[in-house]
Copies of this chain bind each other. A is one copy, B any other.
Amino acid sequence: MVTAKARTNEPRYAQVAADLRAAIAAGDFGEGAQLPTESTLCDRYGVSRFTVREALRRLQSEGLIRRRRGSGTVVDTIGQVLRQPLSDVAELLQYAAGSVFNFDVLGPMVMGEAQAALLGAAPGSRWAHLSGIRTLSPGGPPVAVTDVYINADLAGHIPALQPGSQTLFEQLSASAGFQIGRIDQDIRAIAAGSREAAALAISRRAPVLQIVRVYRDASGRIVEISVSAHAGDRFAYSMHIDHG
A146 to chain B, nearest CB (A): 16
Segment touching B, from A2-10, A15-23, A116-124, A152-160: A116-124
- Interface residue tally for chain A (C-beta within 8 Å): 59
A52 to chain B, nearest CB (A): 16
* Residues of chain B lying within 8 A (CB to CB) of residue A117: 78-79
Chain A residues touching B, majority SS: mixed
Segment touching B, from A38-46, A98-106, A228-236: A228-236
Chain A, 174-197, contact with B by CB distance < 8 Å: what is the 0/1 string?
000001111111111111000000
CA distance A206 to B208 in the complex (A): 11
Structural contact, B179 and A244, CB atoms closer than 8 A: yes
CA distance A182 to B87 in the complex (A): 10
Q: Which of A82, A237, A243 has the most CB of B within 10 A?
A: A243
Which residues of chain A from 70 to 122 have any CB-CB distance to chain B below 8 Å in the complex? 76-79, 81-83, 86-90, 92-93, 117-120
A26 interface residue (CB < 8 Å to B)? no
* Residues of chain B lying within 8 A (CB to CB) of residue A232: 188-191, 207
* Residues of chain B lying within 8 A (CB to CB) of residue A183: 82, 239-241, 243
* Residues of chain B lying within 8 A (CB to CB) of residue A132: none
Structural contact, A89 and B83, CB atoms closer than 8 A: yes
A162 interface residue (CB < 8 Å to B)? no
A30 to chain B, nearest CB (A): 13
* Residues of chain B lying within 8 A (CB to CB) of residue A244: 179, 181, 218
A205 interface residue (CB < 8 Å to B)? yes
* Residues of chain B lying within 8 A (CB to CB) of residue A76: 120, 184
